[in-house]
């Protein structure tokens, strides 16, 4: 079925569901909503319509309209606004990974930009080490060499840092990483150009450091250091970039909507992505401060745990919450 007949057949049904949602959202949902067979049936039918629209390649505007309706319906069915713990668990166990899968196009684009620039620059600097000075000044390079010396007491830290300062470094990592993620996300308001810049800038810088330290012989300390918290930190930067690209795309290609309306529609899923990003960065800061920097742990242990963390993060976003969401 073509899109026009599809919309004509079901638009009235979607409008009625939207009106019902609006009425329910104006007052606190009650447990009776969960027992409302009619509402649940309408929600499931809407999920089927969304799946059909995605499978048939209908316009992004129609898919976004149905996607927003399903998200609002899900919030009314599965959440209770008075139970913060339940809402947080629902977000972590289902809503966040589902949202990442729903925005896979932007996640894929951000991943290509970030990891692509990281890998290319890493290889270039590995074979031409002096190019690192095109991105970092000599003082920064000297600090990097000191922080990742094979004989360093605290890996990834300046010599004067003691293990008792781990809690201070935990706070520093949170502030620094959240600042990077926020820049990457907020750059989307510049029609996506700011997000493009920060994804490439961070990818190039991380790649340059990795390539330089590896050719220097400090890879034996650098890679065990980053492999653990990198699962959370690099994923968070990528998702912040995906959210920024979604904002930018809403401004560049608003479709039949006004730019302000398109931006408002895009803001809600972006807010969910950024909430998840903050959680990932908190986990990354904890691992970096208390695990990654320890010289007492062998490289084999760090590589093993790092591999498990990367596998866990990948499995979480690929599988978590599927049973609570009909279409993906």
**Confidence check: pLDDT of 210 > 80:** yes
Residue 273: the pLDDT is 94
Q: What residues have CB less than 8 Å from 157, skipping those under 6 apart?
A: 147, 169, 293
Question: How would residue 301 be classed by pLDDT, with cut points 50, 70 and 90?
Answer: very high
Of all helices (H) and strands (E), which one includes residue 108?
helix 104-127
CA 326 to chain centre: 22
Q: What is the pLDDT of residues 123-166, one digit of tens each?
A: 999 999 999 999 999 998 988 888 887 766 566 554 444 444 65
**Confidence check: pLDDT of 81 > 90:** no
β-strand partners of 294: 154
Under DSSP, the state recorded for 154 is: B
Is the CA virtual torsion 183, 185, 188, 193 positive or negative?
positive
Give the span between the Cα atoms of 33 and 13, in whole angstroms: 19
Residue 83: the pLDDT is 56
Q: What residues have CB less than 8 Å from 5, skipping those under 6 apart?
A: none
Q: What is the mean pLDDT of residues 106-119?
A: 97
Residue 93: the pLDDT is 86
Q: What is the pLDDT of residues 185-206, one digit of tens each?
A: 999 999 999 999 999 999 999 9
What is the chain's mean pLDDT, rounded?
A: 85
Parse the chain into domains and list their residue ranges. 3-82, 104-324
Lowest model confidence (mean pLDDT) among 87-91, 157-161, 254-258, 310-314: 157-161
Residue 155: the pLDDT is 64
β-strand partners of 154: 294
């Amino acid at each position: 079925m073509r899109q026009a007949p599809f919309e004509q057949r079901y638009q009235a049904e979607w409008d009625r569901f939207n009106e019902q949602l609006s009425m329910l959202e104006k007052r606190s949902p009650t447990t009776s909503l969960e027992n409302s067979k009619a509402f649940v049936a309408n929600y499931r039918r809407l999920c089927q319509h969304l799946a059909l629209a995605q499978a048939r390649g209908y316009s992004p505007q129609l898919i976004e309209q149905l996607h927003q309706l399903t998200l609002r319906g899900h919030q009314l069915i599965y959440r209770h606004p008075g139970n913060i713990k339940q809402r947080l668990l629902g977000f972590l166990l289902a809503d966040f990974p589902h949202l990442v899968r729903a925005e896979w196009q932007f996640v894929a684009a951000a991943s290509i930009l970030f990891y692509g620039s990281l890998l290319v620059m890493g290889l270039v600097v590995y074979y031409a080490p002096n190019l690192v000075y095109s991105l970092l000044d000599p003082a920064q390079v000297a600090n990097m060499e000191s922080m990742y010396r094979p004989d360093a007491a605290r890996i990834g830290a300046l010599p004067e840092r003691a293990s008792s300062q781990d809690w201070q470094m935990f706070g520093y990592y949170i502030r620094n990483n959240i600042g990077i993620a926020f820049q990457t996300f907020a750059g989307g308001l510049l029609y996506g150009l700011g997000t493009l810049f920060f994804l490439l800038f961070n990818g190039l810088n991380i790649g340059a450091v990795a390539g330089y330290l590896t050719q220097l012989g400090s890879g034996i300390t650098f890679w065990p250091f980053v492999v653990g918290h990198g699962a959370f930190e690099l994923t968070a930067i990528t998702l912040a970039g995906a959210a920024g690209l979604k904002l930018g795309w809403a401004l560049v290609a608003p479709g039949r909507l006004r730019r302000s309306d398109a931006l408002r529609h895009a803001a809600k899923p972006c807010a969910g992505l950024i909430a998840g990003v903050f959680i990932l960065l908190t986990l990354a800061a904890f691992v970096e401060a208390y695990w990654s920097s320890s010289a007492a742990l062998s490289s084999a242990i760090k590589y093993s745990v790092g591999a498990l963390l990367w596998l866990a993060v990948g499995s979480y976003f690929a599988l978590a919450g599927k049973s609570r969401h009909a279409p993906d």
